[in-house]
Every structure is written in C-alpha cells, then in structure tokens.
Amino acid sequence: MSPRAALLLLAAAALAAGCEPTLTALTVAPPTAVAECDDAAKDVRLSEGIALAIECTYQGSPCEDATMSSSDPDVVRVMPGFVDLLAPGDAYQRYPADVPRSVFIFVGGKPGDATVTLTSTDANATVDVKVLPLP
Amino acid sequence: MPFTRFLLPFLALATGCAQGSSGALGQTDTTAACPPSELVCAVAGIDAPIAKGATLPIQVSVTSEGAATPPLSFVSANPAVFKIDDARIHALSPGLASMLITTEGELVVDFLHVWVAEADALRLHRVTTGGLQTSPLPAAMEMLVGDELTLVASPHLGPQRLLGELDAQFEADPAVVLMLDEGVAGSRRIVAKAAGETNVTVKALDIEVAVALTVLEVKP
C-alpha cells in the first residue's frame, strides 16, 4: 500500500470513528449483579431485573433528538431518563448544558440477547445487549 | 418526659441531610413511610432487604434544587421479586431487582436496587411512647395488673433485621391479658388484666415466636 493510500485510509477511519456516538454508563451494578456498557464494542451486559443508566454523547455534547428502541422488550426494555434535576456543582459534578442530557435506562428482563437501535440527528448505532440470570 | 422524646429533635439535627436511600442517579430519596413520631424509621431509608411475604410502604421525594417533586410512579423491574401497588412494595420472592421511579411519559428520574430475603427468625420488640423500638424482648417478662406494653413483630435474617410490615397473628390467654389491634400491622397493645401467666405467641411468615408474661398483682 502506498503512503498516500495509507493516509487516505487513516483519514477515512478517523472520520468513521467520529461518526460514532459515545455511550457511557452512569450507574453501577449492585453486588452480585452485572450492569456494564462497553462503548468501543457497543454492547451492554445486564442482569435480569437490574437497571442501568447510559448516557449518549456525540463529540462531547448530548446526542440530539436521540431515541432508542429494543428488538425484544421482554429481554431488555429501554426507557428515557432525565438526569438534569440537580443543580450544577453538586456532588455529582454535573456540567451545565444548553440542552438536556441524553440518557436512557436499560432494564434487564428475561435472560437472552437483543439489540437496541439508537437513532439521533447526530449519528445512529446498534447496541448488542446480553441479559444474564442473577446468581 | 421520656428520654426518647427528648432525644428526637437532636436526632433530626444529627442526621442532617441523610434522609433515606439515595437513588442511583442521585435525584431522589426513598424511605419507608413512617408516622412523623418514628424519626429513626423516617431517616433510615431502605437500609435492609424486605422480608419475603412482607409489605413495605414507601415514600419517595425528589432531592433536586429548584424543583418540587413531580407526579411519580414506581415500577418493579422484576415483578417476580417484588411488585408495587399504591406506593407499597410487596416482597414476593428472594432476589434483587431495581425499582424505577418514573414521572409522566415513563420518564425515569431515578432507580433504586432493592433486595428481598427470606426471614429465618421472628423477633418481638417493644414500642415505646416515643415510637422507638428497643432491642428484641427477652424470653420472659413481668408486668403489673394495669400495665401496658406495645409489641411489634419483626422479621430477621441472621444478624440483620429485615424490613416490611407483617400480617401477624397474636395469641394469649384472654383471662390474663387483653390484646388490642390498633391498626398497626404486626403490632398489638397488650394490657395486663389479671394476675397469672400466659405466653404471647406471634405467628407470621410461617415462623412462631413467644414471650412468657407473668402478671403480678400488688395487694395492699
């Protein structure tokens, strides 16, 4: 591969990476349960009956007009969340924002696999969700 | 004035902002719904598993600055573990599940992970005039004719006292004591009626516990 082609490929990869929204877990699992969000792999592991709050950002700002839908609500239910009740500067160090943060609550249902589709004005993504039985 | 009544205002100050269990998103506080006199209960939060078969009335408030509490609904993330009706958690089977706190439009403002556990013991506690409960009663007690004693049955698992109101049955010799149901779940006011001995037996959650009462009469 020529240096020019490698450079083009690198630039394309950088552009493609920039189109991905970032998913960040805002909460943790209670003892014995699992509630994890892997942004790089765009997958979520969750115990049945456990909720996990996930924030969607795009280039550092809240994902705009974001919605999420589950392929199987019996496995994972996704509900919109609202986390802007607290004033900035509290113990959680929330930043002031011109627009509400984009947060969704994933709720584990019966054990199994499902996909959650994220659509927003900024970018779209598919999140693979695995719901695990509690020990 | 009983010492506990004197203590209550200081307890309120000492607890400061530690009012109940904070939600995972830090926007709500959840406590058991308690009478105002039971300050320890009101500030304790959901600080233990709920006993399987018991019911826990809850109270949730939003802790944000600049916003009063909006209309709220409570949703169980696993109705096999617990269900919620009319702001009461009904513990159905041992396990763990999240309680979602939502407002209009199924918008989640917070959630709280809640445990349900099966009790392995039932213990009796005395309710004082200040509403506070002492450590579990001994196996035997003495009363004078005319004395009163309010008992409440509470579920335990190992060293931990579990939460929840119980549907408890109380039995004792009616010739020795009167047992008044004052409408508080799992509780009776016991009035010593005549000299004698009786066992106050309490059954709940398929567990039985008893305290032996000896009622004495002071003769002039």
Predicted ipTM? 0.83
Region of poorest pLDDT, from A58-72, B6-20, B143-157, B182-196: B6-20
Calculate how close chain A gets to B77, using CA atoms only, in Å.
5
- Count Cβ atoms below 10 Å from residue A133 Cβ, excluding itself: 11
Residue, of B21 and B10, whose pLDDT is higher: B21
Decide: helix, strand or coil at residue A6: helix
In the predicted structure, residue B140 carries a pLDDT above the cut 80:
yes
pLDDT at res. B39: 53
Residue A80 token pair: 């919109």
Tell me the pTM. 0.83
Residue A58 token pair: 């795009």
Whether domain B11-117 has CATH 3.30.70.360: the reply is no
What string of H, E and C letters represents the secondary structure of A35-54? Answer: EEEECCCCEEEEECCCEEEE
Helices then strands (H, E): number in chain B? 2, 18
Whether domain B121-216 has CATH 2.60.40.1930: the reply is no
Residues of B in contact with A81 (CB under 8 A): 25, 107-109
Among all chains, which residue has been given the structure tokens 């349900």? B116
Distance from C-alpha of B89 to C-alpha of B106, rounded to nearest angstrom: 19
pLDDT at res. B69: 83
Domain ranges of chain B: 11-117, 121-216
Over chain A (135 residues), the average pLDDT of each successive run of 10 is: 60 57 94 96 96 94 94 97 66 59 95 97 94 92
Distance from C-alpha of A9 to C-alpha of A3, rounded to nearest angstrom: 10
pLDDT at res. B3: 44
Closest by Cβ to B77, choosing from A51, A83, A85: A51
Residues of B in contact with A105 (CB under 8 A): 100, 108, 111
Calculate how close chain A gets to B23, using CA atoms only, in Å.
10
| DSSP H or E stretch at residue A65 | none
Residue A70 token pair: 């589950």
Would you state the torsion angle of the CA atoms of residues B151, B156, B158, B161, taken in this order, to the nearest 10 degrees? -90
